[in-house]
Amino acid sequence: MDILRRELIYLWYYFSVQFEQIFGWWVLGMAIGSAVSVFAKDAIHRAFRSLQGKRLGLFGILAASALGIASPLCMYGAIPIAASFSRGGMKDDWLAAFMMSSILLNPQLIVYSAALGGTVLAVRIVSCFLCGITAGLLVRFFYRDRPFFNFTGFDEPKSRDTDPNIILRYFKNLWRNVKATGLYFLMGILLSALFQRYVPAEAMTALFGGNEALGVLMAATIGVPLYACGGGTIPLLQQWLWDGMSVGSAASFMLTGPSTKITNLGALKIVLGIRRFLLYLAYVMLFSLAAGLIVNAIVSL
């Protein structure tokens, strides 16, 4: 019993220390994320819809990727809204850029990621933006004369932010945000405490550290089964970076995690079909590996 009590004290110490360090970022992320969702979501989507029909060339892909990051929708929300854009004549390459970046990042997750430091935050934003752009370019060049998506059966989503009182509308959204992310956030801190207590820092450095391709590959691979919620992975990433994980490995994890999240994959398989779905998986793995290696090479200069 004494040993168990001692271990629980250690775990509580590690848990409480990281909770204090990251709790404020979680709260700020939810507050800003809900504000964007309630007050700016429609404006963001109108801005994307306004691109329709304009002769923007490749610039349209850049704008679509940026607006995808700005959009607060998760993948299950992004697919129905993308379906409505598609029915209105939006190009598949623009939709690919918008959806890819929307999967990877949103305003709330940007704020969460600030807890990892300015360098990692910048790497996350730039890599997600470029991943969306590259996806759009690939669809543009290889699916120019044939459809890439099949949105049959998807209707435009109904907004849940309908309360006539704007203050109540915001706090209802914020409460849904707390319920959706709170448990994952606490689980992430608990896993981080377990890693800190029972996994030597040297092991993490050997696994994910340095500029070796193996570390980036391991981070990309582990991101597939371990990613459940963006906020829940921030405590883990913070601890791993302290223990010696390279920035490139972190970038790789942050790309493969959300793009291979089980709920996202289920929705994507429906709109892509099996062949294009497999191409999507190959793309996100190759892009994450390349991004991790490039980031490590830049950081080591």
Q: What is the tens place of the pLDDT at every residue in 121-164?
A: 999 999 999 999 999 999 999 998 888 888 876 666 666 767 78
How far is Cα 110 from Cα 32, in angstroms, rounded to an integer?
10
Q: Is residue 74's pLDDT more than 70? A: no
Structure confidence by residue, pLDDT tens digits, 78-95: 777 888 888 878 889 999
pLDDT digits (tens, 9 = 90+) for 195-252: 777 777 666 666 666 556 667 777 777 766 566 566 668 888 888 888 888 899 889 9
What is the pLDDT, as a whole number, of residue 133? Answer: 97
What pLDDT is stored for residue 101 in this prediction? Answer: 94
* Predicted pLDDT at 268: 82
The residues near 117 (Cβ < 8 Å, ≥ 6 apart) are 241
Checking if the pLDDT of 49 tops 80, the result is yes
93, HSE (Cβ side, Cα atoms, 13 Å): 21
Q: What is the mean pLDDT of residues 109-120?
A: 92
What HEC string does the chain produce? CHHHHHHHHHHHHHHHHHHHHHHHHHHHHHHHHHHHHHHHHHHHHHHHHHCCCCCCCCHHHHHHHHHHHHCCCCHHHHHHHHHHHHHCCCCHHHHHHHHHHHHHCCHHHHHHHHHHCHHHHHHHHHHHHHHHHHHHHHHHHHCCCCCCCCCCCCCCCCCCCCCCCHHHHHHHHHHHHHHHHHHHHHHHHHHHHHHHHHCCHHHHHHHHCCCCHHHHHHHHHHHHHHCCCHHHHHHHHHHHHHCCCCHHHHHHHHHHHHHCCHHHHHHHHHHHHHHHHHHHHHHHHHHHHHHHHHHHHHHCC
Chain mean pLDDT for the chain? 84
Angle, in degrees to the nearest 10, between helices 247-259 and 230-242: 160
Beta-carbon neighbour count of residue 41 at 10 Å?
20
